[in-house]
Amino acid sequence: MEKKNVYDILKERGFIQQVTHEEEVRELLGREPVTFYIGFDPTADSLHVGHFLQMMVMAHMQRAGHKPIALLGGGTTMVGDPSGRTDMRKMLTLEEIQSNAEKFKVQFEKFIDFNDGKAIMDNNANWLLKLNYVDFLREIGVHFSVNRMLTAECYKNRMEKGLTFIEFNYMLMQAYDFLELYRRYGCRLQLGGDDQWSNIIAGADLIRRVESEPAYGMTFTLLTTSDGKKMGKSQAGAVWLDPNKTSPYDFYQYWRNVDDADVEKCLALLTFLPMEEVRRLGSLPGNEINEAKKVLAFEVTKLVHGEEEAVKAREAAEALFGGGGNLDMVPSTEIDKQQLGDGMNVIDLAVLTGLVPSKGEGRRLITQGGLTINDAKVDSIDRIITLDDFKDGALMMKKGKKTYHRVVIK
């Protein structure tokens, strides 16, 4: 069987949103190994699921024999990308950015194979930070029409709310990155989320002007739910790839609970399952779609945290929602006997475990009948927890229908 063009794979799985030169890009990708890049601005101390989608693209591309460049935005983050934002980005210090970049670096290495030059990692701080202002303006600035920039989609809503000059420059920096990567590594394709479209075409145009060489760009769908909201946001904030920020159990549960309407899309974008299987799972009727969600949760957790963690997360979920099984991975808190004393108020215990953020909320929860201890509803805010409530040294608290927390006597 002839090898499938990676462009068609990405298209079929629903990644592709916009392409600068559709036919040319497709042909190029089918013809020769292409060096391409995706930029990641280290604005936080961990990658999140949005980044994960980009890494899936890199992985698909790498499998097809192309060479990814993971570009850390150590330089661009100093400026801040205004795209898709209504307010100004918080300014980060150089130290914060560098520390974040180090964390990103470690995470990249889990997803992309950098051995034997199969992929490249670089940081635009290496060239952006030492740029000379006037030289930059003369070499790069001349190629940008302010009139045109102002019409760019990414500045539209900022034209109403305000846009500072520093952010306005972001596009030039990113365009320059592309040029720099072209010069250093022969990179002629930039990929990114759809909110990066303006920045990407700016870079491709720059290479065409300055180097008179073809350069291309392509954007991917952003992870949104069927009703257009950003995905990867849970009540606790973003869903992080760092297990210390989002535990594998919570990560698993996030995907286990996606809307019916989003299951197929997520399977296509975030797993490597063959498309026939994705379509089959996505079209399961009614209740059966839960099987698809289990597959989704397991597969994504496996990719991000490894098979062992994924199995544990699945077991924990099955134990809680099905009964029996291994409870090791369920979020839990250890408490010693002294702390418990002669008895401890439920609310205090709930706050201690972090199940509720404050006593007020704990009271509210109990009053509304939302707290369960060992499958029995707590009906009084004065309920005292004693050693008798622990079975084999453990007690199970449940908030609402699906937030479990184990308390273990140590």
Strands 344-345 and 384-385: antiparallel
Query: 216 near 207, Cβ under 8 Å?
Result: no
> Does residue 318 touch RNA according to CB under 7 A?
yes
With contacts defined by CB under 7 A, name the span among 119-127, 179-187, 207-215, 252-260 that binds RNA.
252-260
CB of 318 to RNA, least distance (A): 6
Taking residues 329 to 358 in sequence order and writing x for each that binds RNA by CB under 7 A, - otherwise, the string is: ----------------------x-----xx
Q: Judged by CB, which is closer to RNA: 152, or 409?
A: 152
Q: Judged by CB, which is closer to RNA: 151, or 257?
A: 257
Give the annotated binding-site residues for ATP: 233
> Does residue 166 touch RNA according to CB under 7 A?
no
Q: Which of 361, 394, 408, 409 binds RNA (CB under 7 A)?
A: 361
CB of 328 to RNA, least distance (A): 15
> Does residue 311 touch RNA according to CB under 7 A?
no
Phi-psi region of 84 (alpha: psi -120 to 50; beta: other; left: phi over 0): left
Q: Considering only residues 367-406, where is the footprint of RNA by CB under 7 A? A: 368-370, 399-403
Q: Judged by CB, which is closer to RNA: 286, or 341?
A: 286
> Does residue 286 touch RNA according to CB under 7 A?
yes
Q: Judged by CB, which is closer to RNA: 263, or 268?
A: 263
CB of 141 to RNA, least distance (A): 21
Query: 206 near 243, Cβ under 8 Å?
Result: no
* CA distance to 11, 172, 234, per residue, from 197 (Å): 17, 13, 26
> Does residue 156 touch RNA according to CB under 7 A?
no
Q: Judged by CB, which is closer to RNA: 59, or 319?
A: 319
> Does residue 228 touch RNA according to CB under 7 A?
no
> Does residue 317 touch RNA according to CB under 7 A?
yes
CB of 161 to RNA, least distance (A): 6
Q: What tokens does 248 get?
A: 């594998």
Sequence letter at residue 249: Y
Give the annotated binding-site residues for L-tyrosine: 37, 170, 174
> Does residue 51 touch RNA according to CB under 7 A?
no
CB of 365 to RNA, least distance (A): 6
CB of 369 to RNA, least distance (A): 4
Q: Which of 151, 157, 164, 374 binds RNA (CB under 7 A)?
A: 164
CA distance 55 to 270: 9
CA distance 186 to 66: 12
Q: Which of 60, 103, 280, 363 binds RNA (CB under 7 A)?
A: 363
Q: Judged by CB, which is closer to RNA: 81, or 180?
A: 81
Q: Which of 256, 302, 305, 405 binds RNA (CB under 7 A)?
A: 256
Q: Considering only residues 71-100, where is the footprint of RNA by CB under 7 A? A: none
Q: Judged by CB, which is closer to RNA: 102, or 348?
A: 348
Q: Which of 17, 364, 394, 409 binds RNA (CB under 7 A)?
A: 364
Q: Judged by CB, which is closer to RNA: 87, or 95?
A: 87
Give the total of residues touching RNA (CB under 7 A): 40
Per-residue three-class SS string for the chain: CCCCCHHHHHHHCCCEEEECCHHHHHHHHHHCCCEEEEEECCCCCCCEHHHHHHHHHHHHHHHCCCEEEEEECCCHHHCCCCCCCCCCCCCCCHHHHHHHHHHHHHHHHHHCCCHHHCCEEEECHHHHCCCCHHHHHHHCHHHCCHHHHHHCHHHHHHHHHCCCHHHHCHHHHHHHHHHHHHHHHCCCEEEEEHHHHHHHHHHHHHHHHHHCCCCEEEEECCCECCCCCECCEECCEECECCCCCCCHHHHHHHHHCCCHHHHHHHHHHHCCCCHHHHHHHHCCCHHHHHHHHHHHHHHHHHHHHCHHHHHHHHHHHHHHHCCCCCCCCCCEEEECHHHHCCCEEHHHHHHHHCCCCCHHHHHHHHHCCCEEECCEECCCCCCEECHHHCECCEEEEEECCCEEEEEEEC
Q: Which residues bind RNA (CB under 7 A)?
A: 159-164, 227, 235, 253, 256-260, 286-287, 289-290, 293, 317-318, 320-321, 351, 357-361, 363-365, 368-370, 399-403
